[in-house]
Amino acid sequence: MDRRNFVSMGALVTGAAAILRGTKASGQAQPRANLQGQTPSVRAREILPGQPAVVTPNGVTLPWRIIDGVKVAHMVAEEFEHEFAPGLRARVWGYNGHTPGPTIEAIEGDRLRIYVTNHLPEFTTVHWHGLILACGQDGVSGLTQRPIPPGETYVYEFDLRYPGTYMYHPHYDEMTQIAMGMHGMFIVHPRRLRGPRVDRDFVLMTHEWKIDAGARRPNPNAMADFNVLTFNSKSFPATSPLVVGRGERVRIRLGNLSPMDHHPIHIHGVNFKLTATDGGYVPESAQHPETTQLVQTGSAKVIEMVFEESGDWAMHCHMTHHGMMQMGHNAPNTVGARTGTLDRRMSRVMPDFMTMGATGMGGMGEMPMPVPANSLPMRGGPGRYHYIDMGGMFTVVKVRDRVDGTEAQAQGWYEFPEGTVSGPADPARMAADGVTVPTRGR
Ligand SMILES: [Cu+2]
pLDDT in tens, 355-380: 666 777 666 666 666 677 787 776 77
Does residue 241 have a pLDDT over 90?
Answer: yes
Neighbouring C-alpha atoms within 13 Å toward the C-beta of 174: 15
Mean pLDDT of the chain: 86
Q: Predicted confidence band at 425 (pLDDT cuts at 50, 70, 90)?
A: very high
Give the model's pLDDT for residue 225: 86
pLDDT, greater one: 374 or 241: 241
Ligand 1 center from residue 323 Cα (angstroms): 8
* pTM of structure: 0.85
Ligand 1 center from residue 394 Cα (angstroms): 10
Q: Selecting from 2.60.40.420, 3.20.20.370, 3.40.50.1820, 3.30.950.10, what CATH number does the domain 46-320 have?
A: 2.60.40.420
Q: Which residues belong to CATH 2.60.40.420 in the chain?
A: 46-320
CA 22/CA 196 separation, integer angstroms = 55
Give the model's pLDDT for residue 310: 97
Give the model's pLDDT for residue 94: 98
Ligand 1 center from residue 296 Cα (angstroms): 9
pLDDT, tens digit, 9 for 90 and up, residues 77-106:
999 999 999 989 999 999 999 999 999 999
Angle, vertex CA 51, rays to CA 45 and CA 54, nearest 5: 60
Does residue 7 have a pLDDT over 50?
Answer: no
Ligand 1 center from residue 204 Cα (angstroms): 13
pLDDT, greater one: 49 or 72: 72
Mention every residue, 6+ apart, whose C-beta is less than 8 A from residue 314: 267, 268, 390, 394, 396, 397
Length of the chain: 442
Q: What is the mean pLDDT of residues 136-149?
A: 98
Ligand 1 center from residue 75 Cα (angstroms): 28
Give the model's pLDDT for residue 12: 35
CA 160/CA 157 separation, integer angstroms = 10
Ligand 1 center from residue 223 Cα (angstroms): 14
Ligand 1 center from residue 322 Cα (angstroms): 5
Give the model's pLDDT for residue 311: 97
Give the model's pLDDT for residue 342: 75
What radius of gyration, in Å, describes the C-alpha atoms of the chain? 24
Ligand 1 center from residue 392 Cα (angstroms): 9
Give the model's pLDDT for residue 349: 78
Cis peptide preceding 163, ω within 30 of 0: no
CA 74/CA 116 separation, integer angstroms = 6
Q: Is 371 strand, coil or helix?
A: coil
Please tell me the least confidently modeled range out of 15-19, 180-184, 277-281, 419-423. 15-19
Q: Are strands 184-189 and 104-107 parallel, antiparallel or unpaired?
A: parallel
Give the model's pLDDT for residue 19: 31
Dump the DSSP string for 292-357. Answer: EEEE-TTEEEEEEEE--S-EEEEEEESSGGGGSSS--TT----TT---HHHHHHHHTT-TT----S
Q: What is the mean pLDDT of residues 43-58?
A: 89
Ligand 1 center from residue 267 Cα (angstroms): 13
Ligand 1 is a single-atom ion; what residues have CB below 5 A from it? 263, 317, 319, 322
CA 290/CA 194 separation, integer angstroms = 21
Q: According to the per-residue pLDDT averaged within each range, which of 165-174, 212-221, 342-351 is highest?
A: 165-174
Burial of 200 from C-beta contacts in 10 A (0-12 / 13-18 / 19+): buried
Q: Are 210 and 222 contacting, i.e. CB atoms less than 8 angstroms apart? A: yes
Q: Is 300 strand, coil or helix?
A: strand
Ligand 1 center from residue 155 Cα (angstroms): 34
Does residue 41 have a pLDDT over 70?
Answer: no
Give the model's pLDDT for residue 355: 66
Q: Are 371 and 10 contacting, i.e. CB atoms less than 8 angstroms apart? A: yes
Residue 344 CA: distances (Å) to CA of 97, 348, 351: 52, 7, 9
Give the model's pLDDT for residue 42: 54
Ligand 1 center from residue 73 Cα (angstroms): 32
Give the model's pLDDT for residue 323: 80
Give the model's pLDDT for residue 328: 60
> Which residue from 129, 141, 135, 120 is spatially nearest to 257, judged by alpha carbons?
129
Q: What is the mean pLDDT of residues 287-307?
A: 98
* Residue 254 β-bridge partners: 204, 301
Ligand 1 center from residue 365 Cα (angstroms): 20
Q: What is residue 393's DSSP assignment? A: S
